[in-house]
Amino acid sequence: MLGLIAEHELCTSYDLKSLVVERLGGLWTVPHAQLYSEPDRLAEHGLLHRDIETGGRHRKLFRVTASGREVVGAWLVDEHRPGWEVRDDHLVLLALASGAGRSELVPGLAKQRRDGHEERIAEHLAPAAPGADDLPCRLALHLELAARDFWAEIADDQGPGSGGAPES
């Protein structure tokens, strides 16, 4: 969040909500409550400066401090990040269903996930979507395509031993 705020002169939590959707292309979801609480926490640590409007809705306006810019700069060049982590409840459902003798649930789950990925692919390809030079959105599209193909392969599986869902 600090990096997104650093891209702008002033940013409200509402602005931040739009930025997460726009800049991260569905790769990273953030609970709305966190979008409102995290900037305050960062301000308490001296990474953001917080102004509150005196009139109107008394919105909180945030801007990055010099310390905040240093943190963002160091984070951008940090080569010791942990590896990629995929967190998807449907992968847990797949593991539990296929490992607990409930493999009959797998084709329905797979069709549901395939269709969901098809919808998100259509959103990425819509005329209003960011272009191919928006790298996070491009990555999101590639991940959606790969996930759709994975779930389609399982959805097309006609039963045990046909190469789709693992047998339990």
Contacts of 56 (CB under 8 A, 6+ apart): none
State the DSSP code for 166: P
pLDDT-derived band of residue 168, with 50, 70 and 90 as boundaries?
very low
Identify whether 67 is part of a domain: yes
- Among 51, 77, 103, the domain boundary falls at 77
Does residue 54 share a domain with residue 11?
yes
Nearest-5° angle of CA 27, CA 33, CA 36? 95
For 111, the domain range is 89-155
Does residue 56 share a domain with residue 13?
yes
The token pair at 115 is 């269709």
The token pair at 75 is 């984070």
13-58 pLDDT per residue, tens: 989 988 887 777 667 778 889 888 999 999 999 999 999 999 888 9
Q: What is the CATH classification number for the domain harbouring 34?
A: 1.10.10.10
pTM confidence score: 0.66
State the DSSP code for 61: E
Whether 53 and 38 have beta carbons less than 8 Å apart is answered as no
Does residue 147 share a domain with residue 114?
yes
94-147 pLDDT per residue, tens: 888 877 778 888 888 999 999 999 998 898 888 777 766 778 888 888 999 999
